[in-house]
Chains A and B, each alone.
Chain A
Amino acid sequence: MSADDSVPARRDFLRKSLSLIPVVALAGGAPSGLALAAPTPESKPGSSPRADHYQPVFFNAEEWAFVRAAVARLIPADELGPGALEAGAPEFIDRQMQTAYARGGLWYMQGPFAIDAAPEMGYQSRLVPQDLYRLGIAAVDRWTRQQYGKVFAELAPADQDVALKALESDDAALEGVPAKLFFAQLLQNTKEGFYCDPLHGGNKQLVGWKLVNFPGARADFMDWVERDERYPLPPVSIRGERG
């Protein structure tokens, strides 16, 4: 901590000048740099994210119900604030399913495949993310029907947690897709949907970033680098939304 920090005038100057930085830096890319100077109406502190009107493109109705239910348990809404459902993680995942990533386009997918390879050999499945969701959701719903008589989305939250733990530990015997592989895909994408820039469809109203006090696209910390203090400014997204 520098000696300057005890001088209120100096600190006030830094706060004011820091709040100006994204305005200047964003001027070329955001619709209106000035919009950053004051919170936008829909991001009033304490307000909850808007209702989810998103219509899925990749997922069918049963799959969509599963994804919404599962992400709500993986990162739940609780006393600390909104969870992955409120953050829009289902919309994020559905939109990701329309990218090359979900078709395995970012991976080397030539055979032969050695699906029983040791974990330290990395991903060796021929399943791409679209396959994992399509086969995985159906398999989990079959499994929970056997276990509980209901599909996953209709289970009580406590039972959903038990089912997710069984997937995570590979104790659930799914047909056609390894439980652990499906769970890892779902959890990774859920966290991505909670913490990504909102332009990808998740982290609505920057709820993920506000939870951990991550400033998002501010990306200018020349005056804060040496300070052992809480960063004071709210997050900003690429499009200029403010948390």
Chain B
Amino acid sequence: MAKVLPSKHVVIVGFGWTGAIMAKELTEAGLDVVALERGSYRDTYPDGSYPQVIDELTYSIRKKLFVDVSKETVTIRHSVNDVALPNRQLGVFLPGDGVGGAGLHWSGVHFRVDPVELRLRSHYEERYGKTFIPDGMTIQDFGVSYGELEPYFDFAEKVFGTSGTAWSVKGQVVGDGKGGNPYAADRSSDFPLPAQKNTVSAQLFEKAARDVGYHPYNLPSANTSGPYTNPYGCQMGPCNFCGYCSGYVCYMYSKASPNLNILPALKQEPRFELRSQAHVLRVNLDSTGKKATGVTYLDAQGQELEQPADIVILAAFQFNNVRLMLLSGIGQPYDPRTGEGVVGRNFAYQNMATIKAFFRQDQHHTNPFIGAGGNGVAVDDFNADNFDHGPHGFVGGSPMWVNQAGTRPIAGAANPPGTPQWGSAWKKAQAGYYNHQLSMDAHGAHQSYRDNYLDLDPTYRDAYGQPLLRMTFDWKDNDIRMTRFMAAKMKKIAEAMNPEHISVSVKDFGGHFNTASYQTTHLNGGAIMGTDPKTSAVNRYLQSWDVHNVFVPGASAFPQGLGYNPTGLVAALTYWAARAIREQYLKNPGPLVQA
């Protein structure tokens, strides 16, 4: 029998970006908030102490900060006809664990969203006709517009201390010829900090992209270009391009994280409590199944505890939100055979192609050990619907960039194609090319399909005896055609740099999803937002259609994957949902949208 703890107004499951934002917003509203984080307590000190954190083996290779898959992983299969197998080693994606979640070890690319992608189905049907979207592709609109979200994008950037170059502010073009993105949506204010310096690799990309007629711009980066104090009074120091960014705790206090940008303010707040090593097993519902009464969790000793609360926020990683809903009986599970049900529906990902350019030693020193995770130069000429998709017959777009986050030799020293994997020839290529190469990505959007979905695995269980989440997922013809188109466009940029060698990594027709090869950690959907309870699990305020005191922020709400990195939209949607709780829900607890 679980020990019952004193009730709180709000219990938050997970303390990454969405949990931290919700905790700050809801304590500001006068509520008593407890956050339950399954992993350890973590902070810049001691987890990001220099020089201990400058250790590639411990962090990038043995993956110290990522989720402990020995306790809990997911199973994966390519189709409903296959038996899913567990993802035994971290590889294809790297979710977080511990206080700060993936927000502690992310890179810091901090985009907004292309407005078209918030109403993707409507936009494609309007521009290309209803038959353009292939059968089985289940993309849909988010149910919220860029205009509605703009104030929340703006505030999130101020909290994160984001560096960048605006194109236009309140309709006035300010970034033409200065590194602004001509395809970017209008902004109500400039970035809090100017863009960072650019690496040699980014400079080469910038020139080459311009030479082939594209429109390069500075990546918006949640790595600071200078000292900064955010609206919560949290202080950041200038990024020094140390090259230990993604996968590491930032020792320079320069990369935005929940731990650095929000937690210091919450620590001053007596209404807030953070419990780490608190593994939530399920959300508890009352006898009607329409209202949550709190959550049950295990503490570090394995004691089962019940935390009653008036509001439950599921702020775990994308797929853990979905899993908790399935384990708790919140919302109808999705069935791919009938297309009915919502929880697990529209699981989507990212669609990457990568090109590496290798230069002669007397040509360029790209020094790839120098880097910052959010830093780089990109083009949006083929992102979203910035070009006519009509002749090409696929849905989706892709930004392309050099985003030199710092590559270290164990994992990062690539050799030109055809080099042996070992021996003197390998060694010679390492010595000759490590400091003379760059990598560029086409960071493609990924669409949702009827038979890519999430449910509970019938065989494999976690360390606590609960079923693992099962992913049924594979690439589709649309995805392969899109990424091959993007790789061909990006290859023109690579060729314009006149390198000695080029290697292209792109998916082939007939190839399957590879669970061993890193793609991104940008997983989407499964508890998607929308305007119709038949096709979405949460409403436009991220409130469960079925259990009105459960809110589910995160990329689990995205009906499909974006071209841009998701964190900026995740943060803005969380502020948007928090505002709805503060201004509407607390006055009149119940559904914020009538089904």
Contact = CB atoms under 8 A, between A and B. Distances in A.
Interface stretch (A108-116, A134-142, A147-155): A108-116
A76 B197 contact: no
Given A25-B51, A197-B55, A222-B238, A122 B424 contact: no
A7 interface: no
A92 to B, nearest CB: 9
Given A108-B70, A200-B57, A30 B431 contact: no
Given A29-B52, A212-B431, A214-B434, A73 B200 contact: no
Interface stretch (A42-50, A59-67, A170-178, A226-234): A226-234
A15 interface: no
Nearest to B57: A196
Contacts of A166: none
B422 A75 contact: yes
B359 to A, nearest CB: 10
Contact of A226 (B51, B198, B408, B435): B198
B50 A219 contact: yes
A221 interface: yes
A191 B410 contact: yes
Contact of B50 (A25, A80, A168, A199): A25
A29 B200 contact: no
B203 A231 contact: no
Contacts of A229: 365
B505 interface: no
A121 interface: yes
Given A120-B513, A187-B421, A226-B198, A195 B54 contact: no
A219 B241 CA distance: 7
Contacts of B203: 226, 228
Interface in B423-459: 423-424, 426-428, 430-431, 434-435, 459
Q: How large is the interface on A (under 10, 10 to 19, 20 to 34, 35 or more residues)?
A: 35 or more
A71 to B, nearest CB: 10
Interface in A83-125: 83, 101, 104-110, 112, 114, 117-124
B203 to A, nearest CB: 7
Contacts of B42: none
A226 B199 contact: yes
A226 B196 CA distance: 11
Contacts of B431: 80, 211-212
Contact of B89 (A74, A122, A214): A122
A118 B76 CA distance: 12
A131 interface: no
Contact of B430 (A197, A211, A231): A211
Contacts of A83: 427
A226 B369 CA distance: 13
Contact of A221 (B370, B421, B461): B370
A168 B51 contact: no
B404 to A, nearest CB: 9
B111 interface: no
Contacts of A106: 62-63, 68-70, 89
A187 B421 CA distance: 9
Contact of A228 (B365, B424, B515): B365
Nearest to B87: A122
Contacts of A74: 422-423
B91 interface: yes
B223 to A, nearest CB: 12
Q: Interface residues of B toward A: which range? A: 35 or more
A19 interface: no
B409 A105 contact: no
Contact of A211 (B87, B240, B427): B427
A173 B354 CA distance: 35
B428 to A, nearest CB: 6
B4 interface: no
Interface in A14-70: 25-26, 28-30
A217 interface: yes
Nearest to A235: B369
Interface in B70-93: 70, 73, 76, 83, 85-89, 91-92
Contact of A212 (B83, B88, B240, B435): B435
Contacts of B460: 110
A212 B49 CA distance: 26
A63 B68 CA distance: 31
A108 B427 contact: no
A219 B48 CA distance: 13
B422 A221 contact: no
Contact of B62 (A101, A123, A215): A101
B367 interface: yes
Contacts of B145: none
A12 interface: no
A115 B73 CA distance: 18
Contacts of A108: 69-70, 73, 86-89
Nearest to B433: A212
Contact of A224 (B50, B370, B413): B370
A196 B61 CA distance: 10
A230 B422 contact: no
A120 B514 CA distance: 4
A221 B240 contact: yes
B127 interface: no
B194 to A, nearest CB: 15
A231 to B, nearest CB: 5
Given A75-B427, A80-B431, A112-B459, A29 B89 contact: no
A121 B435 contact: no
B410 A26 contact: no
A109 B460 CA distance: 10
Contacts of B49: 28-29
A162 to B, nearest CB: 12
A168 B89 contact: no
A228 B434 contact: no
Contacts of B91: 122
Nearest to B50: A25
Contacts of A168: 421-422
A217 B515 contact: no
B25 interface: no
B421 A213 contact: no
A123 B90 CA distance: 10
Contacts of A228: 200, 203, 364-366
A220 B366 CA distance: 16
Contacts of A105: 70
A114 B82 CA distance: 12
Contacts of A192: 57, 61, 410
Contacts of B50: 25-26, 28-29, 219
Given A28-B50, A228-B365, A230-B435, 5 more contacts: A29-B52, A119-B514, A212-B409, A221-B367, A226-B200
9 contacts: A74-B422, A78-B424, A106-B70, A120-B515, A190-B422, A216-B54, A219-B50, A226-B203, A228-B200
Interface of A: 25-26, 28-30, 73-76, 78, 80, 83, 101, 104-110, 112, 114, 117-124, 161, 164, 168, 187, 190-192, 195-197, 199-200, 208-209, 211-217, 219-222, 224-231, 238
Interface of B: 49-52, 54-57, 61-63, 68-70, 73, 76, 83, 85-89, 91-92, 197-200, 203, 238, 240-244, 251, 364-367, 369-370, 408-410, 413, 421-424, 426-428, 430-431, 434-435, 459-461, 512-516
Top 7 A-B residue pairs of the complex, sorted by shortest distance between their CB atoms: A219-B242, A212-B434, A122-B516, A120-B514, A195-B409, A217-B54, A122-B515
